[in-house]
């Protein structure tokens, strides 16, 4: 059943990927002709960047599909661990839980078993890979959207993140230079004091 399910998920993903690929091809075909569109003023920038814009959109969609694929795998693993832990708790739990002591015992068994099962899962190489891929595709999706905003911001004359980054970088360089200079001043003043002491 699980194998069938994962095969059908895989098929769905492949179909989606195929569909996006054909969209990308079509868009590229159209966009390669857009620079020919006569446009003046700000629209000229948008026309010039239309290839980048649609390419970023297509890549964002692709990353989102990949993210969903890994999210499904992530939940499948969580759900399998949950089922296994539940099975173990049922096997271990006392039959009669009418008194408080038995309920407390059940709670402790539940916590201990689930902790053990989930720690084993989170410690596994397999889970770490799925987690890493899920995170990677989420961030990639975010990256393409950011690139899109960057292109549009440039066209409408708004400050972009790249511009801010270069300012931050320059400030960091100046701060380091200042630290270096103040260290040199400190060392020089030490040498001066020492020289004055010796010559006295």
Partner 1 sequence: MQQMQRSGQGVMQASQYARNLDNLEVGTTPADVVYQGRKLRLLHYKPMVEKMHPVPLLVVYALINRYYALDLQPDRSWVRNMLQQGFDIYLIDWGSPEPIDKYLTFDDYVNRYIDTFVDMVRDASGQERISIHGYCMGGTMSVMYATLHGEKVKNLYVTAPVIDVEKDTTVLGNLSKHIDADLLVDNYGNIPPEFMYLSFTILKPFKQGVNKYIDFVKHADEKDYVENFMRIEKWLYDTPAIAGETFRQWIKDIYQKNLLVKNQMKIGGKLVDLSRIDMPLLTVVAEDDHLVSPECSVPLNYHVSSEDKTLKVYPTGHIGMLASTYSQKHILPEIGAWLKERSYNHAK
The contact set with partner 1 (CB under 8 A) reads 100, 107, 110-111, 114-115, 118-119, 122-125, 128-129, 131-133, 135-136, 139-140, 142-143, 146, 164-165, 168-169, 171-172, 175-176, 179, 186
Considering the complex, what minimum distance in angstroms separates the CB of residue 181 from partner 1?
12
CB nearer partner 1, residue 7 or residue 177: 177
Checking 130-133 for CB contacts under 8 A at 24+ apart, the result is: 130/70, 130/73, 130/74, 130/77, 131/74, 133/66, 133/70
Q: At what angle do helices 125-155 and 100-122 cross, to 10 degrees?
A: 70
How many helices (H) and strands (E) the chain has is answered by 6, 0
Considering the complex, what minimum distance in angstroms separates the CB of residue 125 from partner 1?
8
CB nearer partner 1, residue 18 or residue 103: 103
Are residues 151 and 56 in contact, defined by beta-carbon separation less than 8 angstroms? yes
Task: Give the Cα separation of 70 and 126 in Å (integer).
Answer: 12
CB nearer partner 1, residue 20 or residue 114: 114
CB nearer partner 1, residue 42 or residue 132: 132
Considering the complex, what minimum distance in angstroms separates the CB of residue 15 from partner 1?
27
Task: At 80, list the tokens.
Answer: 């399998």
Considering the complex, what minimum distance in angstroms separates the CB of residue 142 from partner 1?
6
CB nearer partner 1, residue 79 or residue 129: 129
The b/e string for 153-162 (b: 16+ C-beta within 10 A; e otherwise) is eebeeeeeee
Are residues 24 and 58 in contact, defined by beta-carbon separation less than 8 angstroms? yes
CB nearer partner 1, residue 23 or residue 131: 131
Which one, of 76, 72, 77, lies nearest residue 123 by Cα? 77
Considering the complex, what minimum distance in angstroms separates the CB of residue 167 from partner 1?
8
Considering the complex, what minimum distance in angstroms separates the CB of residue 66 from partner 1?
13
């Amino acid at each position: 059943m699980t194998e069938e399910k994962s095969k059908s998920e895989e098929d769905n993903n492949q179909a989606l990927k195929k569909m996006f690929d054909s969209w990308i091809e079509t868009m590229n075909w159209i966009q390669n002709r857009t620079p020919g569109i006569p446009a003046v003023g700000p629209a000229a920038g948008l026309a010039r960047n239309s290839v980048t814009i649609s390419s970023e959109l297509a890549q964002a969609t692709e990353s989102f599909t990949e993210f969903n694929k890994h999210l499904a795998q992530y939940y499948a693993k969580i759900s399998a661990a949950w089922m296994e832990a539940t099975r173990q708790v049922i096997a271990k739990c006392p039959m009669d839980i009418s008194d408080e002591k038995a309920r407390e015992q059940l709670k402790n068994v539940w916590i201990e078993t689930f902790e053990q099962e989930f720690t084993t899962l989170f410690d596994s190489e397999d889970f770490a890979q799925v987690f890493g891929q899920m995170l990677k595709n989420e961030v990639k999706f975010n990256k393409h959207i950011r690139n899109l905003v960057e292109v549009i911001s440039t066209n409408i004359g708004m400050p972009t993140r790249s511009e801010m980054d270069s300012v931050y970088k320059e400030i960091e360089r100046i701060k380091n230079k200042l630290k270096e200079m103040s260290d040199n001043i400190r060392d020089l003043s030490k040498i001066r004091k020492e020289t004055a002491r010796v010559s006295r």
